[in-house]
Amino acid sequence: MSNNYDVVVIGAGPAGYIAAIRAAQNGLRVACIDEWQNRDGSYAFGGTCLNAGCIPSKALLESSELYHRAQHEFKKHGINVPGVSMDIAGMQKRRAGIVRQLTGGIAGLFKANKVDGLVGHGKLLADRKVEFTPVDGEVRILNAEHVVLASGSTPIELPSARFDGSRIVDSWDALEFDEVPERLGVIGAGVIGLELGSVWLRLGSKVTVLEAMGDFLFMADRDVASAAGKDFRKQGLDIRLGAKLTSATVEGDVVKVEYDDAQGEQSIEFDRLIVAVGRRPYTDGLFADDSGITVDERGFIDVDDECRTRVKNVFAVGDCVRGPMLAHKGSEEGVMVADLIAGELGEMNYDVIPSVIYTAPEIAWVGKTEAEVQSSGRPYKTGSFPFAASGRAKAMEQTSGMVKVISAADDDEILGVHIVGPMAGELIGEAVLALEFAASTEDIQRTIHAHPSLSEAVHEAALAADKRALNYMNR
Ligand code: FAD
Ligand code: NAD
């Protein structure tokens, strides 16, 4: 077995495994090392995204939404399904099956692309040598022409709410609950708080979300955040803003939570508490002191716009470097560095990365929010279209939300698109392409959209930016 590689990737999450596959497609000799171990003791490629993040959370969101709709929406369609009940073990079996299939798929892709998938710990030493400690077998020193660090991230733990793996848990544990908690607390109304809060709410928990910030979804456009906030509250999510956690302690089977808000000191009890206050880069044991790698004050590996670290021919991608912690951002960085290593053109457009929150309604956006455009000083126009006026949304019985387009008033360039509503995560694709091609509002206006489709709402919002919406009153 040769220890010499053109590229050694440490980490097989969406950033690392994609970098490895693209590098192999570019004709390079590649190894990809990963140590991820699941709760059942098995090792798997795919990182957080496939094992404990994007994929299992979407599996549960789908199951719980179908359950909710069977209970609350089917009747309107004339479908009577009395006595609908939820089999949590069945739901969890499906989730685990999807994860197993997809992570196994990566092992298959490695084989097909002749990437050596190595199971164990990787550590960058000086001079681009990588120490590989397999889960079974002897330590090997790999010689790499290029190294890609893709070690990902891990949940932030609050000193006032230590994880115990049972009552006070992180997102991974919260994906694997085997029963519906009667009273569920969530610290953080961010992406994970809203997605996992929605899952367990739909399955019957009474869910209270404590959010430190005074603004709901502060990173989203205000119109979208406010529409989504109203909808979530109507569904029964008890979102408490400006709530500063002081302590969370487990007493028997109960989690006692103390927090301060505008009204003063508060206390509340839960059966389980999910802490979802963000993630931090994970670089434990990733590089030796003399490797030359540096990190910033928050622990992210220092890289430039092309993901080059301070060490020649060593790159870092994904959650362990600056930028949004999103799977597709990491994957595209992986493609970029694999192409740069092969001497090809590689670049990332960090201004055009879509964000999607997979709640119901979904929330999705790309580009700038109205507040960002406003503070840039550039004159702008906006156009909105509510799904309540969409024939397809009505047929789907999913009429809440809207599409909002923000465009430059000077040259008509589309600056941001914000959607809250059905399939927002799919609809945003058109907007991403539009921004990537620096499209004008008129480009979308003149593009034929199928009827009846949800995408007509994007078309109408673009028309509304010039007060030319055809199926809605222009304001
Ligand atoms: P990771 O996926 O974290 O992978 C890093 C890998 O490196 C791990 O397998 C780890 O074992 C391995 N590793 C680390 N150090 C070493 C070492 N020294 N040796 C060997 N192996 C090592 N993002 C989205 O875009 N869409 C979503 O819908 C979404 N949903 C999410 C839901 C949840 C609940 C969570 C927690 C996250 C979600 N994310 C989502 C975020 C997404 O999971 C991350 O952005 C993504 O996984 C980052 O990819 P990565 O490859 O950088 O890191
Ligand atoms: P987040 O940054 O989305 O949200 C964390 C929330 O916790 C924020 O609203 C923050 O104000 C709040 N918070 C922080 N400290 C707090 C405290 N002490 N008390 C109360 N509230 C507090 O982080 P997350 O939800 O943990 O998600 C982590 C990462 O995973 C995110 O970067 C996200 O991009 C990614 N993720 C993405 C998706 C998706 O793309 N659909 C889904 C899940 C996770």
Write the DSSP assignment of 395-430 as a string of letters: HHT----EEEEEEETTT-BEEEEEEEETTHHHHHHH
Query: Cβ(266)–Cβ(161) under 8 Å?
Result: no
Eight-state DSSP code of residue 114:
T
Q: Which ligand has its closest atom nearest to the C-alpha of 192?
A: 2
| CA-nearest residue, atom 52 of ligand 1 | 318
State whether the beta carbon of 103 lies less than 6 angstroms from ligand 1: no
Ligand 2, from 153, 156, 192: best to mutate by most atoms within 8 Å of Cβ?
A: 192
Amino acid at 362: E
Query: Cβ(183)–Cβ(270) under 8 Å?
Result: yes
**CB-based contacts of 260, cutoff 8 Å, min separation 6:** 243, 244, 246, 266
Torsions phi, psi for 191 (to 5 deg): -65, -45
Give the position, in ligand 2's atom list, of the atom nearest the Cα of 259. 19
Torsions phi, psi for 249 (to 5 deg): -130, 145
Give the pairing type, strands 380-386 and 362-367: unpaired
**Residue that is written with structure tokens 């369609």 in the block:** 77
Q: For residue 420, how far is its CA from the centre of ligand 2 (angstroms)? A: 19
Which contacts qualify for 126-131: CB closer than 8 Å, 24 or more apart?
126/288, 126/290, 126/291, 126/292, 128/311, 128/313, 128/314, 130/8, 130/10, 130/33
For residue 12 the two structure tokens come to 């097989």
DSSP code per residue over 87-99: -HHHHHHHHHHHH
Q: Which residue is catalytic, options 121, 328, 418, 451?
A: 451
**Residue that is written with structure tokens 């957080």 in the block:** 48
State whether the beta carbon of 187 lies less than 6 angstroms from ligand 2: yes
Give the pairing type, strands 355-357 and 362-367: antiparallel
Q: Which ligand has its closest atom nearest to the C-alpha of 330?
A: 1
| CA-nearest residue, atom 11 of ligand 1 | 36
- CA–CA separation, 169 and 208 (whole Å): 15
Torsions phi, psi for 162 (to 5 deg): -70, 135
Residue 328 annotated among the catalytic residues of the structure: no
Cα torsion 209, 257, 156, 98: sign: negative
Query: Cβ(153)–Cβ(325) under 8 Å?
Result: yes
Query: Cβ(293)–Cβ(301) under 8 Å?
Result: yes
Q: Residue 291: left (phi > 0), alpha (psi -120 to 50), or beta?
A: alpha
Q: For residue 470, how far is its CA from the centre of ligand 2 (angstroms)? A: 38
User: Is residue 246 within a helix (H) or strand (E), and if so which, with residue range?
Assistant: strand 244-251
Q: Is the peptide bond before 56 cis (omega within 30 degrees of 0)?
A: no
Q: For residue 389, how far is its CA from the centre of ligand 1 (angstroms)? A: 39
Residue among 451, 453, 439, 364 nearest 407 (CA): 439
Q: Which ligand has its closest atom nearest to the C-alpha of 33?
A: 1
C-alpha distance across the termini of the chain, in Å: 69
Residue among 102, 9, 23, 124 nearest 341 (CA): 23
Residue among 220, 263, 265 nearest 246 (CA): 265
**Residue that is written with structure tokens 């199951």 in the block:** 63
Which portions of the chain are predicted below pLDDT 70?
A: none
Query: Cβ(390)–Cβ(399) under 8 Å?
Result: yes
| Whole-number pLDDT of residue 51 | 98
Give the pairing type, strands 140-149 and 129-134: antiparallel
Torsions phi, psi for 74 (to 5 deg): -55, -35
Q: For residue 403, how far is its CA from the centre of ligand 1 (angstroms)? A: 30
- CA–CA separation, 115 and 35 (whole Å): 16
Ligand 2, from 191, 216, 320: best to mutate by most atoms within 8 Å of Cβ?
A: 191
Q: Which ligand has its closest atom nearest to the C-alpha of 248?
A: 2
- CA 360 centroid distance within chain: 15
Amino acid at 180: V
Eight-state DSSP code of residue 156:
-
| Whole-number pLDDT of residue 473 | 85
> CA distances (Å), 439 to each of 351, 352, 378, 414, in order?
14, 12, 17, 6
| CA-nearest residue, atom 30 of ligand 1 | 54
Q: For residue 171, how far is its CA from the centre of ligand 1 (angstroms)? A: 12
Longest dimension (CA), the chain: 71
| Whole-number pLDDT of residue 2 | 87
